[in-house]
Amino acid sequence: MDFFNYNNGQLFAEDLSVKELAEAFGTPLYVYSRATLERHYRAYADPLANQPHLICYAVKANSNLGVLNVLARMGAGFDIVSAGELERVLAAGGDPARVVFSGVGKQVGEIRRALSVGIKCFNVESIPELQRIDCIAEEMGLRAPVSIRVNPDVDPKTHPYISTGLKANKFGIGFELAREVYRQAAAMQHIEVVGVDCHIGSQITQIDPFLDALDRLLVLIDQLAEDGIHIRHLDLGGGLGVRYNDETPPLPTTYIEALRQKLGNRQFELVFEPGRAIAANAGILVTRVEYLKEGQEKHFAIVDAAMNDLLRPALYNAWQAIIPVTEHPDGTTRSWDIVGPVCETGDFLGKDRELTLKPGDLLAVRSAGAYGFAMASNYNSRNRPAEVMVDGSERYLVRQRESYEQQMAGEFTLPGQ
Ligand SMILES: Cc1ncc(COP(=O)(O)O)c(C=O)c1O
Ligand SMILES: N[C@@H](CCCC[NH3+])C(=O)O
């Protein structure tokens, strides 16, 4: 559910016309809805209201300061995977004590910074990382709070590029090894074991893989208790899918209820790391048709957004809805491939879309709030788009369109002739 709806044939973002936003800020343009972000956050928070919990929004999905700020104001925690994401959380008013730090390659400086601001927990993904954190905490005269990210070896039944909880994936510590790694962690002087963590993949549209993972974690948690290791929180990661087309992912409340049934009366703080479920359908990418190029086999609508602005179609062959910003009958009705100006055959936003188009039309790519701008690049030396947050009838520019000067800042030609 979102707040991007038609009113008299015009697409609106909450109370504002998307056409007017495009005219004011230019295209390509990311438009986010504050009400949708808040609704999606509450979809997790409300069913958890009666128990200790923390919803750590996965910053990687959309790390714009405006987005982080909206969630920080709601009391969200944050799941980060780099010091850059940590700095963004701090700049957006996030509470470091509500930050969990995931990722397989945490560097020394990143660990130091996270310890110095007092994050909630490191989700540790290997033994060498655990040892590194122990050493750094010793140098700093601290104890580092950790969970081990357990790889439960379950198949999340999603795109192979975004499944993370299989033995073959680089993430986490194998289920069979986890008990031993916890023993080592508990014996380290500068480590404090606080939780158990897992994250099995992204865009998961069924509950079963999550429940299978939880079964395995509960076995481990019982073994840890036998070893005298009592955890305070259980972090089940993110990964809940969203509707892009005809998927029917479970609602957060259904998912949470199913987990609760399995948990019975065990008393942990429950931690979640949703990214896509909060941000994807809270954003659209608005783009303008530059040219219509009709051919014998294929018809192309060449638009001003490209794979550098929204990579998911090119990278995963992902399908995202593409809809007119202004519904109108004039134009050419065809099955169009919606493509960008980048010099790659894979540069498309959508294929075979039945639309009535004329040059100059505005289109909106839906479900673009997660892994949209966050994965944007300057490929083909294109400036990255602007981002706007709509809040009722107010709008806020939350990132200005990049300029050529900004794009080249920090680059130099060689000295001399
Ligand atoms: C450790 C971790 N947590 C949370 C997420 C967020 O995933 P999603 O956007 O699917 O909720 C990811 C990305 O898959 C991740 O790697
Ligand atoms: N970037 C991916 C998801 C990766 C999840 C990150 N662990 C997507 O657009 O679907």
Do the domains at 4-31+280-408 and 34-277 have one common CATH topology?
A: no
Q: Which ligand is nearest to the CA of 198?
A: 1
pTM of the model: 0.97
Identity at 184, one-letter amino acid code: Q
Ligand 2 centroid–CA 224 distance in Å is 32
Are 386 and 400 in contact, with CB atoms under 8 Å apart?
A: yes
This model of the complex carries an ipTM of 0.98
The answer to whether the CB of 309 falls within 8 A of the CB of 374 is: no
Which ligand is the nearest neighbour of the Cα of 275?
1
CATH for 4-31+280-408, options being 3.40.50.1470, 3.10.180.10, 2.40.37.10, 3.40.50.620? 2.40.37.10
Would you say the CB of residue 273 lies under 6 angstroms from ligand 1? yes
The fourth-level CATH superfamily of domain 34-277 is: Alanine racemase (3.20.20.10)
Using DSSP, state whether 40 is helix, strand or coil.
helix
Rounded distance between C-alpha atoms, residue 284 and residue 90, angstroms: 26
Single out the residue of 36, 98, 45, 44 nearest to residue 67, CA to CA.
36
Query: Looking at the CA of 314, which ligand is closest?
Result: 2
The rounded Å distance from CA 199 to ligand 1 centre is 7
User: Distance between CA 251 and CA 274 in Å, rounded?
Assistant: 12
Taking CA atoms, 247 is separated from 158, 203, 205, 237, 251, in Å, by: 12, 10, 7, 21, 12
Decide if 152 contacts 104 (C-beta within 8 A): no
410 is in an annotated binding site: no
The answer, yes or no, to whether any atom of ligand 1 lies below 6 A from the CB of 238, is yes
Q: Closest ligand 2 atom, CA of 370? A: 9
Q: Which residues of the chain have pLDDT under 70?
A: 1, 158-166, 168
Give the residues surrounding ligand 2 with Cβ less than 6 Å away.
60, 162, 202-203, 312, 371
| pLDDT score for 163 | 64
From the CA of 275, how far away is ligand 1's center (Å)?
6
Which residues are part of the catalytic machinery? 343
Domain residues of the chain, as ranges? 4-31+280-408, 34-277
Residue 330 near residue 256 (C-beta atoms within 8 A): no
How far is the CA of 145 from the CAs of 81, 179, 188, in angstroms? 16, 17, 11
Measured from the CB, is residue 202 less than 6 Å from ligand 1?
yes
**Atom of ligand 2 lying closest to residue 203 CA:** 10
Q: Is 32 annotated as a binding residue?
A: no
Query: Is 312 annotated as belonging to a binding site?
Result: yes
What is the pLDDT at residue 27?
Answer: 98
- Rounded CA separation 117/18 (Å): 40
| Residues 62-91 as b or e (16 or more Cβ within 10 Å = b) | bbbbbbbbbbbeeebbbbbbbbebbebbbe
pLDDT for position 301: 98
Tell me if 340 is assigned to a ligand binding site: no
**Helix count (H) and strand count (E) of the chain?**
12, 21
Q: From the alpha carbon of 204, which atom of ligand 1 is closest? A: 10
Locate the ligand 1 atom nearest the alpha carbon of residue 274 and give its number: 11
Give the model's pLDDT for residue 165: 63
In the reported structure, the alpha carbon of residue 100 is separated from the centroid of ligand 1 by a whole-number distance in angstroms of: 12
